[in-house]
Structure 1
Amino acid sequence: MGPLEGVLGLAGYRRQLRARIASWISRESAPRGGDEAESGPDDVRSAERAVYARYRERLEQLNADDDAGMRVWASKWLARGKDLRGPLAGDGAVAVLGFDSPSPAQWRILGRLVESGRGLHVAMTYDPATELAEVYQGREPLRSRLIDLGLVETALPAPSRPAGLAEAERLLFAAGPAGGHRIGRAEGLAIRGGPRGEGSARVVAREVRELRDAGVPAEDVLVLFPAWTEDAALAVETLHAWGIPATADAGEPLRNDPGISAVRLAASIPLEEWETDRVVRLLRHGQVRPPWPGEDRLSLATAASTIKAARVFRGREAVLRGLDRLRMKHKSEDVEYRRAESARGVAERLFGALELLDRPRRWQAQVAELRRVARELGIDDTGEQPVESWCEALDDHSDTLDRLGRTNERWTWSSFLGEAESILNELEAPSARPVPGSVRVATVDQASGATAGWVILANLAEGTFPDRAAVQGLLGLRPGEPPAPATQAAYAGEMLRFLEVLGSARSGVILAYPTTDEKGQELLRAGFLDDLLLRMDDRAKGLCHEARPRLHAALLDAPDLSGSAGDARVRASALAAERGDTSAIERLAATRAHRAILEGTAAALHASARRQRGTDYGEYEGLIRDGAAVLELDRHFGASRPFSASQLETYLSCPFQFFAKHVLKLTPVEERDELDEDYTQRGSDLHDILEKMEARFLHLEGEPDWLAAAEAEVERLSNVEPANATDLDMGLWEIQRTRLIETIHLYIHQRQKYQEEAGHRFAPRMLELDFGSEGAQYPMLEIRDGARSLRLMGRIDRIDVAGEDQGARFRVIDYKSGHAPSPNEVKTGEMLQLPLYAMAVERIVFRGEAATLADLGYWSLKSDGYRPISFEDWENDKLELIRHVLSLVDQLRGGNFVVHSRREGCESFCDYRGVCRVRQVRQAGKRYAWILPKLSAQARRARKAAKAVSAAPGGDA
């Protein structure tokens, strides 16, 4: 390859080289240096010529030829024939159409026809007018050669066409200043502009619809694009949406087919170390329909979400182990356990289908594996079977390898896929068959020579007419410097190509161009379109030119561009909402096709209006009014239902979040990137480490050796590595391990400071204490106030005790690896966990003992350690707390799930932001006022708290 290695990856380069090689073959002359038709660095062009030589050698070795070579061969075979009547069928005259850029093969046949004595007619595009000499300069040598062969020239009369179109064709490229030859008529000409993309597609669809409404047959409308792009595909899609049948003569790349995409994704999974994200994408792919018993699209999507929730980034065994962990975690939860169980079964079947791929095999065996995967995953079961088309092309390649003596060569799965992808890049999906009564859509080159009553030439943006490549050689010319002949010929060819489009229409041409891009910035028109507008006088231009730089989102300013049923509904709804004009929506609602959809729209508008009316909360902001639903809530969350403190805090923070999470049981879709930190897992690891460290000294009477404990935990972490870990897994684990070690060392510092400030009065008594859960040592906490009751369960990180001899005092500690709540949040009853835990310790753990609460607090692992919060009147605070908690549960059981979050900006991070309407509620000025208690909690520095304990009756001196 040499110098070509640097350009092979450039977009379109392979196609360009292929066209260059075909041109060399058609010219029947080996490429040589110094050819002015070539462009680019000499070393690259030299390498291309070497590739061409190698290519021809390989074709000879195969005893084969390509399509350009077959044309040359066929011309020579026909030219050797004594009688051309047989091969060309019949004895009459032969007509040769479009003889504008003949190859040597075509000249050879033409010469043989002249010699045969048969009648011969050759048609070519040419105009002898001197003012058009620049346009037809490339045709003059061809015309002279045909006359030299003995052909007699006959000028055909120009067809009768609308005056404006005829003037445009005659005057557009006429020599002399634009002002000297003005186009004064507009008949047969229309120039339309609209925003790029959807706007331009709507403009094209409107023009087609108006022609059809005027009685023009669909077969007499031809829509052309300079090249097939996304804009062309969007125009076809818009025509279909407007109910206009259209057939596109577009060779879509086969690789864009959804079935091909699914097979490529599946085939890549073993090569990408069984990356979880790829597995999830495959299971969610609509083309994957495996014939596995009991599995359907919903179960596959559920399995994908469950695998994502396992938080394993790659590795077949690692994914299965992650699902096993989920099963154990949710063993007591029937629904979640069955989901994890089902997901593991799906993963096993999928891995079983893919695990044999990554092995060396012969080419044909690898093709068979590709077919097997498509079959086992239920891909390509439609009638078109694009995957089979790909495999057939791979079979053809297998035949080529056999003829090259490479039958027994073994291919790795990676090298096979790379070669198969290269072959796929060259394949096109079959074009749709023309449907009778449909408008044809094609590129200019595809429709070369075709005529139609009306031609719409769309997407005339800068760089289309003339093509950028044709004007490249003109850009570097100095004033007065003549262009190279090849450059001049290329530009003349573009002018002639544009005139041929104008000449292909019998009744009229519509030229469409994009006015602005997606950001509203003005775009330049095609150069020839600008030339045409400059040639037109103001009257003609005013009659035929219409442009819109922008469109209203609901097309309120462009009813003529709302052609689909969806467009009509959107516009009618916008008219009703923005202008109060309900006539359009009433008219649509009267029809069966629109009514069902508009009923949903009406319900949404009704809900939105109710949210914005007044400042009181209603049924559309989370207040459940249905009596049966309230009774069901009261039954489900009744006295026998245990709560956790975190659930109550969630309800107090945002009732609607509680509703989504604990009533509807919606499971958020986790889209965490593999490099994102898992804060939940990190917090769990920290709790486990701190528990083990503190447990070492739980009953130690002497001085704890915290540094030794830290070293032991660091050593334990260093000896634990993920099994079957990839390099990325090891890197992430090393980062996580380093952060844990840093936190351990910081905790040791905090712990020593805590011990110095508290002296020997406080020491851990219990760690990670469970109460209320299945198998826990202690029962649930029962909270009662008359007939109202609540059962509470939880897990307390740590309980420290002081002064056991003269009446114990305890403190409840909660570790926080992230943000620690403020004392004021505890004082107002917004953070309930620690006060409720203190009540549980007092009533359950120290039941019957003379133990009182000293204080409670959060231990900030990333800040300054323990922050005590004490209560001046704990006995009254407990009564306030009981009333507060039971009031919350009463509201919950009564169906109060108002959309009210205490955290501003929650819509940017909440797991349930996709189903919440908090912004609408806030814009309406709705605020929900909680009746919060005022507890006697106050923050104290740790040293002051220790002194207070010491000075208190019964405290240690």
Structure 2
Amino acid sequence: MSVVKIITESSRPGKRRRILNGILPYVRSNRCSELLILVPSNRMVEEIREALLQQESVPGFLGLRLMTFLDLARDIFQNGSFPGRIGSTPARQWRLHSILSTLPPLKPFGEIRETRGMLSLTTDFIRTLKEAGIPPEEFEASPPVRDNPHLRALGEIYRKYEKYRTAQGILDREDLLRLAAEGIRKAPSRSFTSLREIIVTGFYDFTPLQAGFLSALSTLSDLKELSIFLDAPLSSPVTVRSLKRLQHFLPGAEIRSSQRKEETPAKALHHLQQCLSTPAVKPEPVPGDESIELLEVPGRYREVEEMARRIRELHKKHGLSFHDMAVVFRNLSDYREKVREIFRSFGIPHQLTSGLPLRNNPLIRTVTALLECPRSGYRRDAVFRLLASSYLRFEPLERSTITPERIDTLAREAMIQGGRDEWKMRLKSRLDLLTTREQYLQESYGTDRDEKGHKERIDRCRSKIKDYRKCMDVLESFFDLFADLPSEATIPEFIEQLEHLRNTFHLKEQIYERDDLDLVHRDQTAFREWQELLEQLSREQMGLQRVSLADFVRLLSLTLAEKNYSPDPPQEDAVLVTDALGIRGLSRPAVLIGGLVEGIFPRNHSPSPLFSESDRQRLNKHFGPNRWIPLRSQQREEEDLFFRFAVGAAEHFLILSRPRTDGEGHPLLPSSYLDILGALFSQRIKVTCRYLNDPLPSEDPLTNEKPLYRPGELLEYTFRALSRPVTEEPDFPSLLKLLLRERWETCRSLCHGLTVQQARKEVNGSYLGHLGPDAARGIRQGEGNYSVTALERYAACPFQYFCERELKLRPVEEVEEEVGALDLGSLYHRILERFFREMEGPVTKSALAAARKRLDRIEKEELARVEKGGIPGHRKIWEIRQTEIRDVLDRFLLDEIEAFESTGEIPSHFEVTFGMKDVSRRDPLSSPDPLILPSESGEIRMEGKIDRIDLKDGEPPHFSILDYKTGGSKPPGPSGIEKGETLQLPVYAAWALGAFADGRELGHASFVLLRKGSRKCLINPAGQGRQEWKEISERYVRNYVEEIRHGRFPPGEKNCPPYCRYGEICRKGEKGRP
């Protein structure tokens, strides 16, 4: 019978030495087969092997079994005669999806049963029960489950999953541990006959399956000693719980605590480690020293940058190799992209223990886009991303001279959203329109005085026709490649189709077209992982069940997000970057712990929506001490243990870091672990704070090897330093020396930029539109009413307002080839005004036929009226436009029915004017009186025309403002009010609030998007619960009128559109010219 020892110990420096002392006697006496060492991770396996290679008098350790629980169970399974085959971890979710898709609707879960969240939660639920060793039959038969419909539904999923897995002959990783333990008890392998000692180290707790596995190992006949080292102090609640559980599986085990006290030259660090190991004892404070440092930086990106500088300094000043340092985060997924980018820019070799998600690799994104494109219905953006990818080679596109960017531009011009039929129809329609336009230009050639300009228009039209034809040819070949892709198939069939598409686009060959060998290695590694994943999914084909293309793409994306790969080649001297769990059992001379923010480290553990805490507690009480389910309430204790792992890994230097703000600039609370430092040290430890306006240190931080500061930061610090007061200037000679030595060309650009900035400050006269109040009064010659449209134009560009409204300039107009936007808008307004006046009520489903007939008659009359004044543009184009008008009005009727059913509002007033004395007052609500707003420089009189007002009686009665939009551009949103860019609806609503004698309230103010057949609400006081829109808009109106009265008409601050009618005389380009 073997002797079982359970030893609790601290993870302070010296632990690895103790592990080596236990291994070396076997290695040096060539008795490796007599020893088995079980560790929690493959990383720890590598660390111990590296340490053995560095020892003297070690001839080799062939036959040494140093492995994880799973590796040992797999080894036992492969050498035994067990039924079934080992399944891959990624395929579990695919199997579970097959189960969920065949189940009838589960009442406790409703419509979420096929969502990504449900899939992840049920996967975690099944894994938890299997790790606890609870089969589905016992789970469903337990009283807590029988009395709970929620758990009964989960039990049904678990039972069907196990039945499905068993029928396929597939084993999960939890099944391996169970079968391996049974195999050891029944007939242990001959490889165990020579086994004398087992060392289990690096663990702080065990699952029931792991504990049962250890119990089986303890029964080996030739085994003399089983030593279990718990990496936690005896006083820890986690340790107490683990010991109690192990005693049920290993009765009679000897339990003791390791009392080794390893001295370290870093006294403050040793004091912190000692206090974390014995939290119940209150120690006397000691002085802080350089062994512990705290970094406070603005944001995670700057946090990683500061860590990179500390690593370079430790490397240069203290002579530490990169392998001597480790960077620890609680959750590595929040930092790994930033770490990889910044460490590479600083020239720091590093090794990520978890790698990067396979889904984030650009090559794999391109492969998945091959299916995402048809799944999305060939959306324009999906087609463009695929054609523009440098990983694909598409022969029809190469033979054509058209580029993917040009195809995207033409698709936007044709207003294509997606759909194979829409692509073909809209491109053909656009091509027909251009052909008709070319014919019209040819027929009218010679009648235009500007023959050169006319000829250029013809050439541009012909060039665009050629581009559209090339685009149609390329896309026809592109769509043909996906013709055989089914909308539903088995998983192996989809994988076969995906591989066929990959070969068609020559994706693998494009990997080697890159000049950067690091990128080639990255993509090669990702492609190998991808191929391995597809082979696993094909091998475990989940029967012949068919899935939809959308489900296949969704599951594939979810699997790729959870599967990691190592993008960088392995390096011997590299900084270890890991999470808090990955550092357990390891040690480094210097450790940097980042992300010390409350809610991140320690992490907030929210209860599972699928498997509640109370359900877990009842099940634990029922199944007894040998089978337990982890409780979320106990995970804070594990968080404390993870922090102790990270701190205990440091031998000489510990650097703690916290970001003060998140990515959006919101403040973050410091971690509660940082409060420990104040109580343990009599003198404050070294704190380095970095702020956004910090200057560059005065000493020269560059050497002939690698810079501590990246070149881009030198400019950033220079700008900030130059903006500081003279008394706070840094050492400018050193600063300029750095810049001139490293970035001479950039300095020239910097000087030019400073000159431009100075020029912008100095030039502020009439040359750029600043006339002054006297000149403005002379030009205006009296002030009338202000229209809302005019003030919106001023908000967009004061100079354009000045030319158009004050100077009354009219640019030379070109001959229109079709009806203009303003004329088309007026046509829609006339048609809809007549229609509603004749209807005298809302559009309902019962009255749809009559309404459609009436609208068709009014439309024909108004179109005939337009034609009497001459056909606007070419006849063919006019015919196309008439068809579009009919389609728009038909969609409008359907939208009106839907709006009336949802709101009950009745169209009542149309083309209502206020402040316009010369406009006919056909609507009784119209008024010649303007809307008057008081201001410091005199009252402001506003005028306007409201397209439509709907009324609804009730408690209280209310009205709603509607404004028709006939263009295809995106309508403004609520942010337009906050920015002062949208004044129309707020001003109309403000006038209408005082126009109704019965004191009606505002219901909403919305845009009616005629082309889309929908509405967009801009103001909804009931939903917002406030009247801020009115105050904000009135404030902007006052500001704009104040600027106009003072004669301020500078060019707009935003980028000017290419179609601006006053671009030839605008001096915005000269504003930034020195």
Q: TM-score range by the shorter chain?
A: 0.5 to 0.7
Aligned mates of 2:718, 2:183 — CA distance in 1: 67
Partner letter of residue 131 of structure 2?
A: S
From 253, 258, 264, the counterpart of 1:155: 258
Aligned mates of 2:645, 2:763 — CA distance in 1: 66
User: Aligned ranges for residues 458-607 of structure 1 at < 5 Å?
Assistant: 458-469=594-605, 489-518=634-663, 520-530=665-675, 532-539=676-683, 542-548=684-690, 550-552=691-693, 563-572=709-718, 574-575=720-721, 583=733, 586-588=736-738, 590-591=740-741, 594-605=743-754
| Aligned twin of 1:393 | 533
| Aligned twin of 1:192 | 295
- The answer to whether residue 471 in structure 2 is matched with residue 343 in structure 1 is yes
Partner letter of residue 324 of structure 2?
A: D
User: What RMSD over aligned residues (CA atoms) do the two structures have, in Å?
Assistant: 5.6
- The answer to whether residue 314 in structure 2 is matched with residue 208 in structure 1 is no
Question: What displacement does 1:221 show?
Answer: 0.5
Aligned mates of 1:292, 1:513 — CA distance in 2: 53
Offset from partner CA, 1:713-758 (integer Å, 9 cap, x none): 89998996579x9x9998489889xxxxx9xx99xxxxxx99xxxx
Question: What displacement does 1:562 show?
Answer: 7.0
Aligned mates of 1:221, 1:286 — CA distance in 2: 37
Check whether the contact 2:204–2:238 (CA below 8 A) recurs between aligned residues: no
Aligned mates of 1:98, 1:728 — CA distance in 2: 70
| Aligned twin of 2:322 | 218
Check whether the contact 1:461–1:513 (CA below 8 A) recurs between aligned residues: yes
| Aligned twin of 1:710 | 862
Q: Secondary structure at the match of 1:97?
A: strand
Aligned mates of 1:556, 1:323 — CA distance in 2: 61
Aligned mates of 1:292, 1:342 — CA distance in 2: 10
- The answer to whether residue 267 in structure 2 is matched with residue 122 in structure 1 is no
Check whether the contact 1:228–1:443 (CA below 8 A) recurs between aligned residues: yes
Structure 1 residues 499, 513: CA separation in 2 closer, same or farther (over 3 Å shift)? same
Aligned mates of 1:263, 1:729 — CA distance in 2: 43
Question: What displacement does 1:142 show?
Answer: 5.7
Check whether the contact 1:193–1:546 (CA below 8 A) recurs between aligned residues: yes
Aligned mates of 2:184, 2:349 — CA distance in 1: 43
| Aligned twin of 2:413 | 309
| Aligned twin of 1:228 | 332
| Aligned twin of 2:427 | 320
Check whether the contact 1:502–1:509 (CA below 8 A) recurs between aligned residues: yes
Structure 1 residues 365, 55: CA separation in 2 closer, same or farther (over 3 Å shift)? closer
Check whether the contact 2:324–2:589 (CA below 8 A) recurs between aligned residues: yes
Aligned mates of 2:889, 2:328 — CA distance in 1: 53
From 94, 117, 126, the counterpart of 1:21: 126
Check whether the contact 1:556–1:574 (CA below 8 A) recurs between aligned residues: no
Q: Using the aligned pairs only, state the percent identity.
A: 16
User: Aligned ranges for residues 613-628 of structure 1 at < 5 Å?
Assistant: none
Question: What displacement does 1:225 show?
Answer: 0.8
Structure 1 residues 73, 427: CA separation in 2 closer, same or farther (over 3 Å shift)? same
Aligned mates of 1:428, 1:199 — CA distance in 2: 25
Question: What displacement does 1:551 show?
Answer: 1.7
Q: Secondary structure at the match of 2:578?
A: strand
Question: What displacement does 1:493 show?
Answer: 3.1
Question: What displacement does 1:441 show?
Answer: 0.7
Check whether the contact 1:164–1:183 (CA below 8 A) recurs between aligned residues: yes
User: Aligned ranges for residues 838-877 of structure 1 at < 5 Å?
Assistant: none
Question: What displacement does 1:435 show?
Answer: 1.6
Aligned mates of 2:881, 2:300 — CA distance in 1: 58
Question: What displacement does 1:253 show?
Answer: 2.6
| Aligned twin of 1:644 | none
Offset from partner CA, 1:91-148 (integer Å, 9 cap, x none): 553322235423444544455345433343524236777xx35463224426757985
User: Aligned ranges for residues 608-647 of structure 1 at < 5 Å?
Assistant: 608=757
Gaps of 5+ in 2: 1-99, 101-105, 438-456, 512-519, 615-620, 622-629, 702-706, 768-798, 805-810, 813-817, 830-856, 868-877, 897-906, 912-917, 920-964, 968-1009, 1011-1047
Aligned mates of 1:87, 1:713 — CA distance in 2: 100
Aligned mates of 1:34, 1:490 — CA distance in 2: 27
Q: Secondary structure at the match of 2:230?
A: coil
Offset from partner CA, 1:212-245 (integer Å, 9 cap, x none): 1221111110111111233343133222222212
Q: Secondary structure at the match of 1:469?
A: coil
From 569, 587, 595, the counterpart of 1:451: 587
Question: What displacement does 1:524 show?
Answer: 1.4
Structure 1 residues 15, 208: CA separation in 2 closer, same or farther (over 3 Å shift)? farther
| Aligned twin of 1:365 | 493
Aligned mates of 1:35, 1:604 — CA distance in 2: 76
Question: What displacement does 1:515 show?
Answer: 1.9
User: Aligned ranges for residues 629-668 of structure 1 at < 5 Å?
Assistant: none
Check whether the contact 1:291–1:378 (CA below 8 A) recurs between aligned residues: no
Check whether the contact 1:169–1:502 (CA below 8 A) recurs between aligned residues: yes
Aligned mates of 1:296, 1:455 — CA distance in 2: 56
Q: Secondary structure at the match of 1:524?
A: coil
User: Aligned ranges for residues 108-187 of structure 1 at < 5 Å?
Assistant: 108-113=213-218, 115-125=220-230, 132=235, 134=237, 136-141=239-244, 148-149=251-252, 153=256, 155=258, 157-161=260-264, 162-172=266-276, 174=278, 181-186=284-289
Please, what TM-score do these two structures have when normalized by structure 2? 0.54
Aligned mates of 1:912, 1:313 — CA distance in 2: 24
Aligned mates of 2:328, 2:459 — CA distance in 1: 64
Q: Alignment length, in residue pairs?
A: 687
Question: What displacement does 1:459 show?
Answer: 0.5
Structure 1 residues 21, 394: CA separation in 2 closer, same or farther (over 3 Å shift)? same
Offset from partner CA, 1:579-612 (integer Å, 9 cap, x none): 7986456534554x63444444455555555565
Q: Secondary structure at the match of 1:116?
A: coil
Q: Secondary structure at the match of 2:639?
A: helix
Aligned mates of 1:472, 1:181 — CA distance in 2: 41
User: Aligned ranges for residues 767-782 of structure 1 at < 5 Å?
Assistant: none
Aligned mates of 1:372, 1:733 — CA distance in 2: 47
Aligned mates of 2:828, 2:133 — CA distance in 1: 79
Question: What displacement does 1:66 show?
Answer: 1.0
Q: Secondary structure at the match of 2:170?
A: coil
Question: What displacement does 1:395 show?
Answer: 4.9
Please, what TM-score do these two structures have when normalized by structure 1? 0.59
| Aligned twin of 1:71 | 177
Aligned mates of 1:296, 1:435 — CA distance in 2: 44
Q: Secondary structure at the match of 1:523?
A: coil
Partner letter of residue 246 of structure 1?
A: H
Q: Secondary structure at the match of 1:545?
A: strand
Structure 1 residues 922, 219: CA separation in 2 closer, same or farther (over 3 Å shift)? same
Question: What displacement does 1:55 show?
Answer: 1.8
Q: Secondary structure at the match of 1:243?
A: coil
Aligned mates of 2:533, 2:569 — CA distance in 1: 22
Larger Rg: 1
Structure 1 residues 77, 200: CA separation in 2 closer, same or farther (over 3 Å shift)? same
Question: What displacement does 1:53 show?
Answer: 1.9
Structure 1 residues 185, 573: CA separation in 2 closer, same or farther (over 3 Å shift)? closer
- The answer to whether residue 487 in structure 2 is matched with residue 353 in structure 1 is no
Structure 1 residues 355, 112: CA separation in 2 closer, same or farther (over 3 Å shift)? closer
